[in-house]
Amino acid sequence: MRIGELARRTGVNQRLLRYYEEQGLLTPDRLPSGYRVYADTDVLPCMGVDGERLIASICPELVDDLMAERDRISRSISTLQEAQSASDAIITARPAASSTARPAPAGSR
């Protein structure tokens, strides 16, 4: 099946499916044209679409994977917050004149 069909069957948008491919979670075959071709086994476990609504049953492998991904995201957020705090500290510690003042060109005095 092509990416649009996989997106419809799982309720996951195509951009997120491409991200999963970048992360090695999905490995579709490629047609000579470059189109991705997914197998029925690529439909995410415990997920499906009921009309327009995404449904997910609770299954251990999905919950374990989601918990691991949530932990990875939390670590990334913490790292980014630390970098932001360090940047804020540097920005607020700078001398007030350093943000706009430039030395006068030589011989202009």
Whole-prediction pTM value? 0.46
What span, in angstroms and rounded, lies between the C-alpha atoms of 1 and 49? 16
Q: Are 55 and 46 within 8 A, CB to CB?
A: no
Token readout for 106 is 């030589």
pLDDT (tens digit per residue) in 48-103: 556 555 556 656 667 777 788 899 999 999 999 999 999 999 999 977 655 555 55
Tokens 């990334």, residue located: 76
